Chains A and B, each alone.
Chain A
């Protein structure tokens, strides 16, 4: 049966080969898209990807692995056996996806990883994603600047403890803070990306440390929980107020942009979603037509912006449009 699916894969590769010379049109191209999960940010991501694929006149075959590495492997294998032109995947398990990518490529189908980087980038045709570590570092440096050498208590909310993006956003923040011994991380609260847990965590941290100076909320959905606690404590004050708590967030969703415009958070690091999607789709189509992809991996660092420059930056931030 392994032979059978190799054959089908080969056949699919052969079938798509002639179109390689017909680069002007991508009409017969179907891109298999495999998401790790569906949550608010992924909904936006899916929309960006759908737009990009439509713009390229290709078709999309979508599947959601729902936080299950096995299901993702099975879904990608199915797409391969159905003869899609290329795969774009947000891997759930960044280790398992290496082998999935290799076997897909071995079957003659390009494998593009999006957003979440695999542990071994050499195993994919092309990777395009944000740079969680860079984002974390930017956030860390911002806190160092904000603290300005004075004692500074920081609450760090964490997303999924077993999620690579989450881990890196956290670790690189910590690295950047090492330079400033005046900053203490008073608590690292695991939340599983759940705003309700972000709320409880913020409430508890404020209880332990009423003199909290900063909150790191590395995904926009957490902000709602943070704001509601601050509001209850009369601490939801605009940037610039002496009692304002410095908040840095990552994602760049419309809600994040609104928070910046309302001057509620100091810094937002926006993931360039449309650009990521466009590049992923372009690479997938090009690779499926036999083209060579250079460079093989790209990391688009988030675009930092704050209340003071949001007007100027708005055109570059997807969440600030529309």
Chain B
């Protein structure tokens, strides 16, 4: 028997069915709009996918450890609100808030702190992650809106730099997203802490018996998720130039969809960073393509829904094909 290092197990098939769906969708859009298959458009898609992708990278770590972070969008909102509070001055003449470079350390520190708070609350209060982050989703959003008084704050200065900067004609957020995804992948597959995180997600009971410091590892995962939320928030705000109450609203849904669609198991222990990236791209491509072909606004959600249903059927069908020859009855297959 000879084996090889298999960093992230049993996700291959799902990633392939995702590749197939993404290819199908792309070919469809390309045939309807000649501007779809275009280098400029690829740049757009990547740039628009960046916030989702970054959020999804953090969420992949959390879900791999058998957690969930519903508060990621609220963290994006609150971290940016805190950043403005700490490093913004309202300029009445320009109707905008001037910012200093301090917004970056403040937003990032806030993201890390809020994520850590999620983990600490889960650990100390012994709650399920779902309850904790459902609570902090509400709490963080309330705090964020409290700071901005639910108003729209136009921003200027260094806060815009990250979202708008370009390198070789490609938006810096794209590099950030790729970097985060690679870092996430290396972390999960190559570092001892990443492997321990997968172990905790795979079997919390074994983790205790093996002497893994589950609580510390969860802090790492949730802090990473908070960090990713804050970075996603910085990109969104940097690009659009406002901190608005809807910032990050519903982000948790998109991001969790991307992670699960990408083949990471909600029951922990199995993760696919590559799948997460692909699924983030798929979700963005749908919106992008719909606008390019000038679709009816009411059709957007129909297409989104149908593609989700196709993706899940493709996955179920491939699982069926794979296990067709096993004598074990379907109910007992994993």
Contacts and interface: CB of A to CB of B under 8 A. Distances in A.
Chain A directly contacts chain B within the complex, with at least one CB pair under 8 Å:
yes
Interface in B280-319: 287-288, 291-298, 300
Given A38-B245, A189-B291, A207 B149 contact: no
Contacts of A40: 150-152, 244-245
Contacts of A43: 149-151
A105 B288 CA distance: 48
B291 A204 contact: yes
Contacts of B239: 196, 199, 228
A305 interface: no
Given A189-B291, A205-B291, A255-B154, A194 B149 contact: no
A187 B33 CA distance: 12
Given A40-B150, A208-B35, A255-B154, A190 B300 contact: yes
Interface string A197-238: 011110111011100000000000100110110001000000
A204 B47 CA distance: 11
A227 B291 contact: no
B264 to A, nearest CB: 25
B240 interface: yes
Interface residues of A, number: 37
Given A43-B149, A228-B164, A196 B246 contact: yes
Given A161-B297, A194-B246, A204 B288 contact: yes
A200 B247 CA distance: 14
A200 B241 contact: no
A201 B294 CA distance: 11
A208 B33 contact: yes
Contacts of A38: 145, 150, 245
Interface residues of B, number: 39
Interface in A21-72: 38-40, 42-43
A16 B244 CA distance: 41
A186 interface: yes
B244 A200 contact: no
B48 A203 contact: yes
A258 B95 contact: yes
A195 interface: yes
Interface in B33-50: 33, 35-36, 38, 40-41, 44, 47-48
B121 interface: no
B240 A199 contact: yes
A74 interface: no
Interface string B103-139: 0000000000000000000000000000000000000
A161 B239 CA distance: 24
Contacts of A208: 33, 35-36, 291-294
B175 interface: no
A126 interface: no
A204 B292 contact: yes
A208 B293 CA distance: 8
A204 B95 CA distance: 28
A192 B244 CA distance: 13
A194 B244 contact: yes
B249 interface: yes
Interface in B217-263: 236, 239-242, 244-247, 249
Nearest to A187: B294
B297 A158 contact: yes
Given A207-B35, A207-B40, A208-B33, A228 B291 contact: no
Contacts of B152: 39-40, 195, 221, 224, 255
Given A39-B246, A187-B291, A221-B152, A227 B241 contact: yes
Contact of B247 (A187, A196, A199, A207): A196
Contacts of B287: 200, 204
B249 A194 contact: yes
A193 interface: yes
Nearest to A39: B245
| Residue of A190, A193, A232 ringed by the most chain B CB atoms within 10 A | A190
A255 B95 contact: yes
A40 B297 CA distance: 24
A119 interface: no
Contacts of A301: none
A309 interface: no
A207 B292 contact: yes
A199 B240 CA distance: 7
A39 B48 contact: no
27 contacts: A38-B150, A39-B245, A40-B150, A43-B151, A187-B292, A190-B298, A194-B244, A195-B152, A196-B239, A196-B244, A196-B246, A199-B240, A204-B48, A204-B287, A207-B38, A207-B40, A207-B41, A208-B35, A208-B36, A208-B291, A208-B293, A224-B152, A224-B242, A228-B240, A254-B95, A258-B94, A258-B95
**4 pairs of A and B residues whose beta carbons are closest in the complex:** A40-B152, A204-B291, A208-B292, A190-B297
Interface of B: 33, 35-36, 38, 40-41, 44, 47-48, 94-95, 145, 149-152, 154, 164, 236, 239-242, 244-247, 249, 287-288, 291-298, 300
Interface of A: 38-40, 42-43, 158, 161, 185-190, 192-196, 198-201, 203-205, 207-209, 221, 224-225, 227-228, 232, 254-255, 258
Given A187-B295, A204-B288, A207-B40, 13 more contacts: A38-B245, A40-B151, A186-B294, A190-B297, A192-B246, A196-B246, A200-B291, A203-B44, A207-B44, A207-B288, A208-B36, A254-B95, A255-B95
